[in-house]
Amino acid sequence: MKILIDTDPGIDDAMAIFYAALAPEVELVGLTTVFGNVHVETATRNALALVEMAGLDIPVAQGAARPLVRPLRAPPDFIHGAEGFGDVPKITPKGRAVTETAAELMCRLAREQPGELVVCAIGPITNVAEAVRLDPDFARNVKRIVFMGGAAFAPGNATPFAEANTHNDPHALNIVIGSGATVVMVGLDVTMQVLCDAAFFNRLGQASPDLGGFLQQASRFYLDFYRSRTGQDGCALHDPSAVIACTHPELFVMQSLPMVVTETGEEAGRTVVGADVAGPRVSVCTGGDMGAVKALFESAFARQRHG
């Protein structure tokens, strides 16, 4: 499956990108970067570094530096660290981003392989909205758009109402779900069902000293945040779950539900779903075999050791 990941790396973004690099069923064709966990320039630098660590030869395109309408929020360095990877110091990659913008790269790749490209957005979905605006055929050209974000029946994590990615740019998400593309939401309803503790990251490091070892090191800061702020002894499997939903939808329970995203006020970013909602339909992940999702993620790193 041809997948382009739109990302704001970010520790769980690194987890998702490494999984995509290792999964045999994924052909990772590019990364596009967006503001969110870090400023977009840092996101681009981090994406280039992750590509090099994984030994990939794919384009990285820089995208939106701020939301379409809402003011830019300060990156949550208390969650992901100042440079995005916890206590890992700034990494300077050898490569550079391509000259195309994120939206331009998305549109070109979708146009060159109509019906084949899956866009997996694991940060604020601003770049995908820009692609919809840029090319009237983009929504028809992509196979589907899978995004990590939202909370249909669960509480938010950025506010009591909203998940962080949707809170960052609710206007963009309304554009995307109204585009006519097939859209799948992988939100807190499912990602919070998985707990990844220190032992989990230790196993990744043992199975894969390079990629897993990097995640093991970066995760310490992340786990400390969860422990101190939420009392959880582990982090959720947010972004990797979205990649796995691209390739293994059978592991998830999905409901086709009308959706609208609240754009303003204290509930900004809330993903409102229900039969009485006057919005386009989205395939919303409401459950699934999340133990199998976690095991599938971990098996990719074990496969690297034996591959």
* Reported confidence tier of residue 231, pLDDT bands at 50, 70, 90: confident
Q: Any residues with CB less than 8 A from the CB of 231 and at least 6 apart, and which?
A: none
The predicted pLDDT at position 65 comes to: 98
Q: What is the pLDDT of residue 171?
A: 98
Record: fold of 2-306:
Inosine-uridine Nucleoside N-ribohydrolase; Chain A (3.90.245)
Are 254 and 275 contacting, i.e. CB atoms less than 8 angstroms apart?
no
Residue 229 is predicted with a pLDDT of 81
Q: What is the pLDDT of residue 27?
A: 98
Residue-wise pLDDT tens digits, 188-210: 999 999 999 999 999 999 999 99
Predicted pLDDT at 304: 63
Angle, vertex CA 191, rays to CA 164 and CA 48, nearest 5:
65
Give Cα separations from 73 to 126, 157, 223 (angstroms): 14, 15, 23
Q: Where are the domains of the chain?
A: 2-306
User: Which one-letter amino acid corresponds to residue 288?
Assistant: G
Active site residue 238: yes
- Residue 64 pLDDT greater than 60, yes or no: yes
DSSP classification of residue 196: B
Sheet with 252-261, strands from edge to edge, namely 60-62, 27-33, 2-7, 117-121, 144-148, 183-186, 281-288, 252-261, 271-273
pLDDT tens digits, 107-153 = 999 999 999 999 999 999 999 999 999 999 999 999 999 999 999 99
Q: In whole angstroms, give the CA distance from residue 176 to residue 306.
A: 40
Contact assessment for residue 216 and residue 197, using Cβ atoms and an 8 Å cutoff? no
Catalytic residue among 39, 238, 248, 306: 238
- Angle (CA) 158-161-165 rounded to 5° is 45
Residues 225 and 78: beta-carbon distance below 8 Å: yes
Per the model's pLDDT, the better-predicted residue between 275 and 292 turns out to be: 292
Per-residue pLDDT for 102 more than 90?
Answer: yes
CA dist., res. 224 & res. 222, Å (int): 5
- Quick one: pLDDT at residue 305? 53
Q: How far apart are CA 221 and CA 217, in angstroms?
A: 8
> Residue 18 has what pLDDT?
98
What global pTM score does this model have? 0.97
